Amino acid sequence: MEQPLILITNDDGITAPGIAALVLSMKSLGKVIVVAPDSPQSGMGHAITMNHPLRLEKVSIFDGVEAYQCSGTPADCVKLAVDKVMHRRPDLLVSGINHGSNSSINVIYSGTMSAAVEGAIEGIAAIGISVNDYNFDADFTAAMHYAKLIATKVLENGLPVGTLLNVNLPKGVLSEIKGLKICRQAKAKWVEEFDERTDPHNRKYYWLSGKFINNDKGDDTDEWAIENGFVSVVPTQFDLTAHHAIATLNTWNF
């Protein structure tokens, strides 16, 4: 049987340690191809590049692994990979390992997760994986272990149609992790506190800044899992329809 074809991307850029760790952990599962941004793309959400052309360049970064850097967003990388790089549809897409958590509402802002969502839209089994540690030299050994474990299960079982996985790990080493929980996205949000400054020309500017507020007390959420030492796995979808609200709106008598 042909070995699985695995597309790897991220949003921290192709030189980030997290993607190197992911490549290492996936190499034993199949043929790996990397198409990742040539610069950091955190917080890019599901941006795509329509008004500028994209560059795609072959690079030798990962030992024995075909790799390309792309001038676009994470979603662009997946689109270009599928249309121009891969010789056939990949069996699996893994995005990460992200330096920082993409749990709860962060799934919306995350370039890591948008790459995985783009894969799922393309019909590819897709996983986004992140560690709750923003340090450049974060310890990825636990994430490598769980990436391999989860990818193996996904290759064996497939994923339900229209779903992908959002995997988040607590900061720390493998021996400290208590296990893995299937979770829902916590109802948490950022409260903005823009930092207002004045430039040397006496014009104001603003830095985005904020506090993360989690008022969701459920013990079945991704935030609960991470805070309590578990790996969270949230099945995630790109059908944004609030199906439960259709009946309500139908009573409005437009």
| Cβ 127 to its own copies shortest distance, Å | 12
- Burial code (b: 16+ CB inside 10 Å, e: under 16) for 211-248 equals eeebebeeeebbbbbbeeebbbbbebeeeeeeeeeeee
Q: Among residue numbers 71 through 130, which ones bind its own copies (CB under 8 A)?
A: 73, 75-76, 79-80, 82-84, 105, 107-109, 114, 117, 121-122
**Which position among 17, 153, 171, 177 is part of the footprint of its own copies (CB under 8 A)?**
153
The span of 28-36, 86-94, 132-140, 202-210 binding its own copies (CB under 8 A) equals 202-210
64: contact with its own copies by CB under 8 A: no
Residue with structure tokens 């024995």? 64
Residues contacting 1, CB < 8 A, separation 6+ = none
**Which position among 3, 198, 202, 250 is part of the footprint of its own copies (CB under 8 A)?**
250
| Cβ 242 to its own copies shortest distance, Å | 4
| Cβ 180 to its own copies shortest distance, Å | 4
178: contact with its own copies by CB under 8 A: no
| Cβ 226 to its own copies shortest distance, Å | 15
Instruction: Give the number of other Cβ atoms within 10 Å of residue 38's Cβ.
Output: 18
46: contact with its own copies by CB under 8 A: yes
The DSSP output letter for 141 is H
237: contact with its own copies by CB under 8 A: yes
Residues contacting 239, CB < 8 A, separation 6+ = 162
| Length of the chain (residues) | 254
| Cβ 63 to its own copies shortest distance, Å | 26
Interface with its own copies (CB under 8 A), residue total 77
Sign of CA dihedral 212, 17, 33, 232: negative
| Cβ 128 to its own copies shortest distance, Å | 11
Nearest 5 degrees, angle CA 28-CA 169-CA 67?
40
**Which position among 61, 177, 189, 212 is part of the footprint of its own copies (CB under 8 A)?**
189
174: contact with its own copies by CB under 8 A: no
The span of 12-20, 40-48, 129-137, 169-177 binding its own copies (CB under 8 A) equals 40-48
**Which position among 2, 63, 137, 196 is part of the footprint of its own copies (CB under 8 A)?**
196
Q: Are strands 204-207 and 195-198 parallel, antiparallel or unpaired?
A: antiparallel
Q: Nearest 5°: phi and psi at 195?
A: -95, 110
Q: Are strands 204-207 and 92-99 parallel, antiparallel or unpaired?
A: unpaired
**Which position among 178, 206, 213, 228 is part of the footprint of its own copies (CB under 8 A)?**
206
What region, left, alpha or beta, does residue 158 occupy, with left being phi > 0 and alpha being psi -120 to 50 degrees? left
The span of 59-67, 133-141, 169-177, 184-192 binding its own copies (CB under 8 A) equals 184-192
**Alpha carbon separation from 85 to 16, 118, 239 (Å, rounded):** 21, 16, 27
